[in-house]
Amino acid sequence: MIITGAGGQLGHALAEVFPEARALTRADWDVTFPPPEGLDPDLVLHAAAWTNVDGAEDDPQSAAAANVGGTLNVAELGAPIVAWSTDYVFDGTKRTPYVESDSPSPLGAYGRTKLHGEAAAGDLAWIVRTSWLFGPTGNNFVRTMLRLGAERDEVAVVDDQRGSPTYVGHLAEATKQVIHLPYGIYHVAAEGDCTWADFAEAIFEEAGLGTRVRRITSEEFGARAPRPAYSVLRSEKGAPELPPWREGLRACLSRLDMTGV
């Protein structure tokens, strides 16, 4: 068993849950290139990905090289793959949770590359769509808010996008169950949903920070890439259910107490 992208927040969590796996960072294998000699895994946990949503708008070719070409290179190994995808394959026009049979319609380059990456994984694959990942390592919303909250009295946060913030530790644990399911697409995200502003307020509250949240629109924020206004994921196929997002937040913060922001 190997893990790609082991230096990222999801890959790091997977390495903890699957200590028997060979954890490969980008330095070990940049998946935009063919696999190195000597790899013959019985399973690939494919966490390597381009995750910079706004950056994908500026450099769609590089995003595609990682998310599509990288997955094709992993599939060349001929082993079953767990590949993680995103809620951003949907356009957010629905107002009830997206399930596996809903038709994707990504708004931006990132979502398009992840959707094409799903197909690139081939038939021997579990595609795990998830959302709003955060953890004690890497670049993510929780770590950003904690840093800003320590510096400022008030932070402006978007309040017109709704999803399910998902703790990578819970997602990694759920992967143990996913690999016993038939191949296919599964939605695996935290229970409950909120806006980014709700999430920020919860982060400050749980961390004991007095930082205020000023709720703004996506238009006011002015991000490069469009995001779905609603991208809550749920499963109609018996995918593993995760704990509530706030429970994941507490678990993450307890780890950050040990490692720092």
Domain ranges of the chain: 2-259
Provide the percentage of residues in the chain whose pLDDT is more than 70.
Answer: 98
What is the model's pLDDT at position 257? 65
pLDDT value for 186: 98
- Work out whether strand 162-163 and strand 194-195 pair parallel, antiparallel, or are unpaired: antiparallel
Predicted local distance difference test score (pLDDT) of residue 242: 98
* pLDDT value of residue 235: 98
Provide the pLDDT for residue 33.
Answer: 96
Q: What is the pLDDT of residues 32-53, one digit of tens each?
A: 999 998 999 999 999 999 999 9
Mean pLDDT of all residues in 171-196: 98
Give pLDDT tens digits for 217-227.
Answer: 999 999 889 99
**pLDDT tens digits, one per residue of 155-179:** 999 999 999 999 999 999 999 999 9
Distance (Å, whole) CA 233 – CA 100: 9
Instruction: Kindly name the residue from 88, 98, 110, 167 that is annotated as catalytic.
Output: 110
Q: Say if residue 18's pLDDT is above 80.
A: yes
110 catalytic? Reply is: yes
Percent of the chain with pLDDT over 90: 94
In terms of CATH, what superfamily is 2-259? NAD(P)-binding Rossmann-like Domain (3.40.50.720)
Give the pLDDT mean for 200-224: 95
> What pLDDT does residue 261 have?
54
Give me the pLDDT at residue 224, please.
87
User: Is 130 within 8 Å of 86 (Cβ atoms)?
Assistant: yes
Mean pLDDT calculated for residue range 226-233: 96
217/156 Cα distance (integer angstroms):
10
What confidence category does residue 256 fall into, taking pLDDT thresholds of 50, 70 and 90? confident
pLDDT for residue 220: 93
Rounded to an integer, what distance in angstroms lies between the CA atom of residue 227 and that of residue 51? 14
Closest CA to 14 of 190, 178, 191: 178
